[in-house]
A = this chain, B = another copy of it.
Amino acid sequence: MDANHKALLRNAISRLVQLTDQDWELLVSHLTYRQLKRGEYWIAEGKKEQQIGFVINGNLRHYYTHDGEEKTTYFYFENHLISSYFSALTGQPSKLTIEALTDCQLIAFPYKVLVSLYDNSHSWERFGRKLAEYLALGLEERMAGLLILTPEERYLHLLQENKKKIIERIPQHLIANYLGITPVSLSRIRRRVSGKK
């Protein structure tokens, strides 16, 4: 395990909670280095493997499959944690798939290690709370966007400064999927908002 990679993870965690060196040591021996080739899965639908991943670089998408159609709910970039959170929390098989869109480097650790950290340390328990709160805020925003905004408005939101990463780094047909529309419709929306005849 590259020390720089570990430092990236520790730094990301410290944005949520201050860990003592002692707290950090509880986790560090369980970390493993992983690589995914483009197109490989971090977790596939129906599986129960409950590893948490931390993205060092690369990007991934998180999607559900329904009636043979894939519906993308999230994209992940470097410095983010990934997991089938629903599956880890409930112990049920994953209903979603996390797929590498590019080659990825990750750090992994088992969800059950995180649970044991919750038991052993108030600081880690706090990390768990902050992580779940962070997720809930993100989900609330995504949910409200789907309910309140039209597909066109959702597309315009992606153009705003803080969201540019998706527009810049994700192919358009996957952006359409994320917006809940077909690539054909996104193409028309783009023409509409560009003002061109």
Q: Which residues of A contact B (CB under 8 A)?
A: 64, 66, 71, 73, 85-86, 89-90, 118, 122, 125-126, 128-129, 132-133, 135-137, 139-140, 142-144, 146-149, 180
Chain B positions within 8 Å of A129 at CB level: 118, 125, 128-129, 132
- Main secondary structure, interface of A, reads helix
A118-B126, A122-B122, A125-B126 as given contacts; A64 in contact with B144, CB under 8 Å: yes
A129-B132, A139-B139 as given contacts; A147 in contact with B85, CB under 8 Å: no
Chain B positions within 8 Å of A144 at CB level: 64, 71, 73
Q: In the assembly, what is the distance between CA of A64 and CA of B90, in Å?
A: 29
